[in-house]
Amino acid sequence: MILDDLVAATQRRLTTEQAAVPLAEMVKRADNVPTKDPQQVYDRFTAPGIHLIGEVKKASPSKGLIAADFPYLDIAKDYDQNGVSAISVLTEPDYFKGDIHYLQEIASEVSVPVLRKDFVIDPYMLYQAKAAGASIVLLIVAILSEQQLNDYLKLAHQLGLAAIVEAHDEDEIKTAIAVGAKMIGVNNRNLKNFTVALDNSERLRQLVPENIAFIAESGIHTRADVQVLEANHVNGILIGEALMTAPDKAAKIKELLG
């Protein structure tokens, strides 16, 4: 199962990273970065309209290499100047060819909040996200216990980070709500077998109260896809592949947002 592989790879990476920069040092680095107000991110996504999170990614387990040529900073600036509400940056190196340094550079050059897209399995990764300049982190229900989710969400907020709590089915939505998520992302891609079903977002939207921002992730490629989600009162859409493969990213953003 790919999710198990991703978690195992993340555990190996953490061991190496913590040997290079111990937790105490990473906490210090995070402390040196001004603390933001996560509520500003939540307010941004519950405001009227549909909000686009543009993703910067080089590869994925389901598609392999997406962008051989990868001017990540130019791509992020392109997104920033053309109406995205946030930018998602993959920092997972083994399967997505991501890097925390991409995030660091992008966060220092754009005006919108930046999401660290990774498989958070340890508090260290939250301090690391803040130190790199992220405003948002991803917490995935499928890879964390309810206690971990609760603790990591609290820690994220203490660090001034908003969190997208990612769920895939009814039970995971209930868990996300139970731990106090203020922004829930529904992945239309099943991380166990990588199939995509856009109606996953439509189905689960009704379980999430209106005061919690609802973000649809994966499998969104066209204006028609976005219109379906808009009709279901989805607050935000996270789009990676459709933007990464578009020769004219500004035009693609305009097309998607109508």
The mean pLDDT of 118-141, rounded to a whole number, is 99
CB 221 within 8 A of CB 229: no
pLDDT band at 189 (very low <50, low <70, confident <90, very high): confident
Lowest mean pLDDT among 43-47, 57-61, 146-150, 249-253: 57-61
Which amino acids are annotated catalytic?
55, 57, 117, 166, 187, 217-218
pLDDT for the residue numbered 2: 81
The mean pLDDT of 80-94, rounded to a whole number, is 97
Please write the tens of the pLDDT for every residue from 19-35: 999 999 999 999 999 99
Joined tokens for residue 118: 């990774």
- The whole domain housing 243 covers 2-257
The mean pLDDT of 57-71, rounded to a whole number, is 88
Joined tokens for residue 99: 């890097």
Instruction: Please indicate whether residue 40 or residue 196 has the higher confidence score (pLDDT).
Output: 40
Q: DSSP character for 141? A: G
The mean pLDDT of 206-223, rounded to a whole number, is 95
CB 110 within 8 A of CB 135: no
- Number of domains observed in the structure of the chain: 1
Q: DSSP character for 175? A: H
Query: Rounded to 5 degrees, what are φ and ψ at 70?
Result: -135, 70
pLDDT for the residue numbered 187: 87
Degrees to nearest 5, angle at CA 180 with 17 and 231: 105
| Cα distance between residue 4 and residue 19, in whole Å | 23
Task: Assign residue 229 the CATH number of its domain.
Answer: 3.20.20.70
pTM confidence score: 0.95
Q: How large a percentage of the chain has pLDDT more than 70?
A: 99
pLDDT band at 128 (very low <50, low <70, confident <90, very high): very high
Q: DSSP character for 35? A: P
Lowest mean pLDDT among 26-30, 41-45, 60-64, 233-237: 60-64
